[in-house]
């Protein structure tokens, strides 16, 4: 299980590295940099070989819990 999570973290970090220059450019334009953050939602597909594949990144993910599974995943 630790190997799977390590692979998922690797996918997430690589996606953030891809947009680092755009994020840095956006931060330079902001006047109040110290009080902002962004919550991202990652959709990751895991294949039969336990390889994670990035499906999409949601800029404003829903935090609503409409089912017991939602509550377990999002908490």
* Residue ranges in 1-75 assigned as alpha helix (H): 2-18, 20-29, 68-74
Give the pLDDT confidence score for residue 60 in this predicted structure: 81
Mean of pLDDT values over 36-43: 83
Does the pLDDT value for residue 21 go beyond 70?
yes
Cα→Cα distances 67→39, 63, 75, Å: 21, 12, 12
Q: Are 50 and 7 in contact (CB under 8 A)?
A: yes
Give the C-alpha separation, 8 to 26, whole Å.
26
What are the tens digits of pLDDT across the range 41-73? 999 999 999 999 999 999 888 888 999 998 888
Residue 33 pLDDT grade (very low, low, confident, very high; cuts 50, 70, 90) = low
List, in order, residues 6 or more apart from 25 with CB less than 8 Å away: none
């Amino acid at each position: 299980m630790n190997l799977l999570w390590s692979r998922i973290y690797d996918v997430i970090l690589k996606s953030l590295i891809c947009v680092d220059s755009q994020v840095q450019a956006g931060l330079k334009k902001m006047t109040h940099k110290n009080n902002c953050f962004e919550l991202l939602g990652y959709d990751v597909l895991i294949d039969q070989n336990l390889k994670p594949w990035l499906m999409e990144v949601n800029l404003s993910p829903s935090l609503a819990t409409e089912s017991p599974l939602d509550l377990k995943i999002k908490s």
